[in-house]
A and B are shown apart, each in its own frame.
Chain A
Amino acid sequence: MNHHEAKFLLRARRPGGADAKDPVFAEALAETEKDPTLRAWLESEAAFDRTLAAKLREIQPPPGLRDAILAGSRASQRPLAWWKKPAWLAIAASIAVILTLTLRFRASGSSTQALASYALQDLAVNSAEHAGQRPELTELAARFTNTSVPLPGNIKVDAAELRRLGCRTLNFAGHEVFEICFKRDGHWYHLYAANVHNFSHGPADAKALLTTQGRISSTAWKDGDFAYALVTDAGPEALRRLI
């Protein structure tokens, strides 16, 4: 075995000694024992590999990724055959509800209550799509996670910013609705925001519209620019604490 062959093999050998017992490297290693130049090369190569590996391990995942993974997995545990999944029944039922809501919305004019009902159905039907948040939205979501004041009256969102960040966007009766997911006290909350001109009817007080359907609670309110709906499966008391 010449130098070239020995180096070729030893470049695939991990520097930490994990391959110490691998016979593939035995002959090449034996060469390094006989040849000081080759041994020096191997030591230098291993030092370089260790340094490079340590440097690359300094790269940290974006904040929020772990929580997003955990939230996403909860929606996917205990998989069933598709035809056994209650979600398919729920989807069929909810499509009907959303269709009804849309027709009612178009017939009777816009209201924050319609937005709340739509948000509630969206969370119930598309639970898998509420699995966390894009990394670009982490900073935005943190505003809602970290604030201690009630959300109504203290929210500032910008539609252009939400579009730029790739916020999840829905279409309700032809109107653009943004969804921002954030976590507080171990529970996920989902804030839906839409142009207030399209949802101008209804009270500004979030407590007035707090309702619960099954395991999901919702409420809605509005300010000068946006109508908001807030939904969670953490229960009505958890929702009440945010408004």
Chain B
Amino acid sequence: MQAEAFPQLVETYYAALYRFALSLAKNSSDAGDLTQQTFFVWATKGGSLRDGSKVKSWLFTTLYREFLRSRRRGNRMVAIEDLAPAEQEIPDVETDLVAKMDAPLVMNALQEVDEAFREPLTLFYLQDLSYLEIAEILSIPIGTVMSRLSRGKAQLRHLLAQKAKGGRVIEFPQQGVRP
């Protein structure tokens, strides 16, 4: 890719990559580092990518690999078999309720979803990627993507419901009375 195209590439994808990194790393500092590192890898290796339509997928795959490399996966990754079975009934969280929640609170709920489910869920919600693209980025079968999306959505709704309960308006103390 030509040098002058690089700023355009950064402009187009850096925010989306940062959000993906934030959902994985769970803190702003590491998310920023991961995003930077992804573009650094692009600057050194991205020129070998011939298919321009694969740029987005390449960047997200690279960020994900850098995330895995940045920590010991085996120690922290929750084995899918260890996870609780999916709930039979997905809680009915109203769309209006989510619309009224603060974005950081919603992100916080997403970050609490088990990692195996959070990865495809983030790519689905934040990047509008298809289940096929998600499977390619995460190197998992299509059926697994679908299963994790379904279970991840259930978990996310549970967490959003909890956050919504915890975030209910507390009555303001009467004037002149210290809480």
Q: Which residues of A contact B (CB under 8 A)?
A: 7-9, 11-12, 14, 16, 18-19, 22, 44, 47-49, 51-53, 55-62, 65-66, 68-70, 72-73, 76-77, 79, 131-132, 134-136, 166
**Is A51 in contact with B95, judged by CB distance below 8 angstroms?**
yes
Count A-B pairs with CB separation below 8 Å.
Answer: 114
Contact of B106 among A47, A55, A69, A77 (CB under 8 A): A55
CB contacts under 8 Å to A, within B18-69, are 18-19, 22, 28-29, 32-33, 35-36, 39-40, 42-44
Given contacts A55-B98, A59-B104, A73-B10, 15 further A-B contacts (CB under 8 A): A11-B149, A12-B124, A14-B128, A18-B128, A19-B130, A52-B156, A53-B125, A61-B35, A62-B32, A68-B32, A70-B6, A70-B10, A79-B44, A132-B36, A134-B32
- Distance of A53 Cα from B7 Cα, bound (Å): 26
Known contacts A61-B18, A66-B10, A136-B29; A51/B98 CB under 8 A: yes
B6: chain A residues within 8 A (beta carbon): 70, 73, 77
**Is B32 in contact with A77, judged by CB distance below 8 angstroms?**
no
Q: Does B77 contact A (CB under 8 A)?
A: no
Contact of A65 among B18, B43, B95 (CB under 8 A): B18
Q: Does B83 contact A (CB under 8 A)?
A: no
Q: Does B145 contact A (CB under 8 A)?
A: yes
Q: Which residue of A lies closest to B1 (CB)?
A: A77
A52: chain B residues within 8 A (beta carbon): 98, 106, 125, 156
**Is B43 in contact with A77, judged by CB distance below 8 angstroms?**
yes
Q: Which residue of B lies closest to A132 (CB)?
A: B36
- Distance of A195 Cα from B57 Cα, bound (Å): 48
A77: chain B residues within 8 A (beta carbon): 3, 6, 43
Q: Which residue of A lies closest to B98 (CB)?
A: A51
A14: chain B residues within 8 A (beta carbon): 124, 128, 130
**Is A66 in contact with B11, judged by CB distance below 8 angstroms?**
yes
Known contacts A9-B146, A76-B40; A69/B131 CB under 8 A: no
- Distance of A60 Cα from B31 Cα, bound (Å): 12
